[in-house]
Structure 1
Amino acid sequence: MTFDLSDTPLVTLADGVLTLPISLEGKGNSLDSGAVDQAAVALRALHAGEIDAGAVLLVGLGANFCAGGNVAGFAAADDRGEHVRELADRLHAVVRQLDELTVPVVAAVAGWAAGAGASLVLAADFAVGGPDTRLLAAYPGIGLSPDGGMSWRLPRAIGQGAARAFLIGNEPMNGERAHQLGLLTSLVEGDVREAARALAVRLAAGPRDAHAAAKALLRASETATLAEQLDAERDSIARLAVSADGVEGVDAFVAKRRPEFGRG
């Protein structure tokens, strides 16, 4: 079965890259509920094998990646608690799906990534930013606590002390500092979206089983002992050595040519 992208008009698929907008140009580039829902539908299809993609690209469609939640929508809700709970559930469905993907996830972090936008940066395997990139916790500014997995991912990425300073201090972090801390995996001078897309296209053309195995090993390492991880690594590399991409990669290296993955 092939997924019909007309059901998710904001989502695109080209060059093996599934592009998921998470904010639109209006409303200050706040997290868009419709975009989040479409991302969830497309990700379910990707997990089910109904979409053939080798990478996922998260983007904002305006000047910023994502300026956080729609605070005006919070204020207008009849029941603010229930409204925010529902929005968090919808966002968290996407965060869980991103975490479970076997293909790389790239975030094009142009402009501001605040609140839920910063959480989605943390959910990506690769985050590309530029001189104008700014990260901000944002939640304390409106008297709220984080969502989108920020309180789990941030201390693991930069340590408890730096995570507390970022989250509770609520001071913007520029792209250079975010890159130094590893929150951005690359910092480019040119167009951030173009650079992020080029990276996603390159990753999509790579060895998918190897990418999936690397992600699985990294995920397992969070709870595994060294002995368990060594056994898992041995089994994984042995399995890949006889896979189509593994055979092609080794043979191409020996022949001093570029490998052509995905042919098997």
Structure 2
Amino acid sequence: MDRHATLFRIEDGIARLTLARPEQLNSFTVQMHAEVASALEAVAEDASVRVLLITGAGRGFCAGQDLGERKVDAGPLDLGVNIEKYYNPLIRRLVAVRVPVVCAVNGVAAGAGVNIALACDIVIARRSAKFVQAFSSIGLVPDAGGTWNLPRAIGQARALGFTLTGEPVSAERAESWGLIWKAVDDDRFDDEVENLVRRLASAPTRGLELAKRAIRGAQLRTLDAQLDVERDSQRECGLTDDYREGVTAFKEKRPARFTGS
């Protein structure tokens, strides 16, 4: 068993979760699932958290499932049990995080690693990073929400080509497709990620929470229903200290000092 499969800390309103099995390209084990679940629970319970950053240690972000844990020689496996016990709860927890979730893809993201990244709110990647839907090479179907997120992000044609061929997609192409938010030159990547998470940590937290909730749910609603969501969200935001501070700062021509309340 790994001593630690992840690294996690909360400081200055920023929760930082690092997948930390670099020699195995941060592939998921049962232990890593448990540690990630514990970290996401800590984020949910800590009101001081205003942004969550997820990244990987070493040269890769995440290679998906650690196939070393799959004992295929022992006979047929019911992979649905593994999905139901580990990956489905992981994705549900990720999308339910109330604050913005930034995924910093520092290297290759493959298999479930791609789809875990896509479950986050903002994905920023090194220009040298690559994305690979590797499931077809071992006779599997994308999991971790991939079949839901991919066609919505890049359309059916690209989603099918990306999935069925298993061809790598560069970070630059992923950005042009709308698969990720931004591809950044490698030598600027760390600074760009840090600037982004600090900016979000100092933003009006409740407004961001309601905005991401409205956008994530929009595809499941009619226009009329979505207009009602916007009305109710705006009403709630208008009662916050951060809204008053934002308007006051605008009138006084100074930077706003948001507290997240």
Task: Verify same fold: TM over 0.5.
Answer: yes
Q: Which amino acid aligns with 1:12?
A: R
After superposition, residues 158-197 of structure 1 pair within 5 angstroms as 158-189=154-185, 190-197=187-194
**Rounded Cα–Cα distance in structure 1 between residues aligned with 2:122 and 2:47:** 21
- Bigger CA drift: 112-121 or 24-33? 24-33
TM-score (norm 1): 0.89
**Rounded Cα–Cα distance in structure 2 between residues aligned with 1:256 and 1:151:** 46
1:94 paired residue number: 90
Structure 1 position 134, deviation (Å): 0.2
Q: Which amino acid aligns with 1:200?
A: V
**Rounded Cα–Cα distance in structure 2 between residues aligned with 1:41 and 1:182:** 31
**Rounded Cα–Cα distance in structure 1 between residues aligned with 2:9 and 2:25:** 22
Q: Which amino acid aligns with 1:105?
A: V
**Rounded Cα–Cα distance in structure 2 between residues aligned with 1:228 and 1:163:** 28
**Rounded Cα–Cα distance in structure 1 between residues aligned with 2:260 and 2:99:** 17
SS at match of 2:22: coil
Structure 1 position 22, deviation (Å): 3.0
**Rounded Cα–Cα distance in structure 1 between residues aligned with 2:117 and 2:75:** 29
**Rounded Cα–Cα distance in structure 1 between residues aligned with 2:175 and 2:232:** 34
104, 116, 137: which one pairs with 1:108? 104
**Rounded Cα–Cα distance in structure 2 between residues aligned with 1:192 and 1:33:** 30
247, 250, 254: which one pairs with 1:253? 250
**Rounded Cα–Cα distance in structure 1 between residues aligned with 2:171 and 2:5:** 31
1:127 paired residue number: 123
User: Relative to structure 1, is the Cα distance of residues 32 and 58 closer, same or farther in structure 2, using a 3 angstrom cutoff?
Assistant: farther
1:21 paired residue number: 18
Structure 1 position 157, deviation (Å): 0.5
Equivalent residues of 1:23, 1:32 under 8 A apart: no
Q: Which amino acid aligns with 1:85?
A: V
Query: What do you get for the CA RMSD once the two structures are aligned?
Result: 2.2
**Rounded Cα–Cα distance in structure 1 between residues aligned with 2:35 and 2:42:** 11
| Long gaps (5+) in structure 1 | 1-6
**Rounded Cα–Cα distance in structure 2 between residues aligned with 1:77 and 1:66:** 25
Equivalent residues of 1:23, 1:66 under 8 A apart: no
Equivalent residues of 1:248, 1:260 under 8 A apart: yes
1:4 paired residue number: none
User: Relative to structure 1, is the Cα distance of residues 229 and 171 closer, same or farther in structure 2, using a 3 angstrom cutoff?
Assistant: same
1:148 paired residue number: 144
Runs of 4+ in 1 over 6 A off after TM superposition: none
**Rounded Cα–Cα distance in structure 2 between residues aligned with 1:76 and 1:29:** 21
Equivalent residues of 2:6, 2:36 under 8 A apart: no
**Rounded Cα–Cα distance in structure 2 between residues aligned with 1:62 and 1:88:** 29
1:199 paired residue number: 196
**Rounded Cα–Cα distance in structure 1 between residues aligned with 2:50 and 2:5:** 19
Structure 1 position 194, deviation (Å): 4.1
